[in-house]
Structure 1
């Protein structure tokens, strides 16, 4: 009496177990899933990390640059405080002082170059309202005004 074993092919194996010369389907599927999962998580984390820069991109250039530097510091130093500071700075609308100061400078320049009866009237009103005395010689030299009152073209 010989013990006869059934051939190997007749034994039922689960689908994920590969035989000697077959491709391991589970290993390949798991590898593809792992690569895609790591790539997706990396993209999502980088997108989250650069969220303050995307928010500040709509604002002023200086604010965007400060937020970008804070984001880089947070990424390279692994300090979350920099990221939080950048996010808060990106969400705050800072007033545009450069535009305001530029408009003030342009207005002052236009006023300084103004001549004629309108300029005389403005100067007379300013002197009367503010109680200005006649400018001293030092003041006239400093601001390049005529030294004698008769040389003035006030009116």
Structure 2
């Protein structure tokens, strides 16, 4: 396209400059301002950024989903750790939430409660009556043996 000037007004003609090649690639912008490559790249970058954001938030929600599915007792702790990891970008919180959600901690309270109940039952038990105990004779005490003295 060439620019023609008629009385101060510039018009474009559909002719190609004589130095230009016969065939121009598609990514070269046309004279009307349409740039197909730039339009494609704008949409591509927007969709990639949105996709990465969705993947990031899905990854951060993984410990909470695991805790919901396994009915974990530490669900609130896992949720708080996941939120702390999300807002502080400290991955140690996220790893801690993932470990708590993935592995069930050992139950240490139940055996301790059982021991406490057994001790409570032993201390509140009434003493056995004396009648059922075997009658014991007076204990026989042996005379001390002294050396060197005959009887």
In the superposition, the TM-score normalised over structure 1's length comes to: 0.54
Counterpart selection for 1:44 from 55, 65, 87: 55
1:59–1:93 Cα contact (<8 Å) kept: no
- Larger % of strand: which? 2
2:72–2:101 Cα contact (<8 Å) kept: no
Bigger radius of gyration? 2
SS in 2 for 1:45: helix
Q: What is residue 64 of structure 2 aligned with on the other side? A: 53
Equivalent residues in 2 for 1:5-154, closer than 5 Å: 7-8=15-16, 11=20, 12-60=23-71, 62-94=73-105, 132-133=127-128
In the superposition, the TM-score normalised over structure 2's length comes to: 0.56
Q: Which runs of 5 or more residues in structure 2 are unaligned?
A: 1-14, 115-121, 130-151
2 CA distance for matches of 1:28 and 1:14? Answer: 16
2 CA distance for matches of 1:79 and 1:61? Answer: 23
Q: Which runs of 5 or more residues in structure 1 are unaligned?
A: 1-6, 105-125, 135-155
2:27–2:37 Cα contact (<8 Å) kept: yes
Count of paired positions: 102
Q: What is residue 142 of structure 1 aligned with on the other side? A: none
1:78: how far off?
Answer: 1.3
Per-residue CA deviations over 1:32-61 (Å, capped at 9, x if unaligned) read: 111111111111111111111111112336
2 CA distance for matches of 1:83 and 1:63? Answer: 14
1 CA distance for matches of 2:93 and 2:69? Answer: 20
Q: What is residue 139 of structure 1 aligned with on the other side? A: none
2 CA distance for matches of 1:58 and 1:97? Answer: 23
Higher relative contact order (CA 8 A, sep 6+): 1
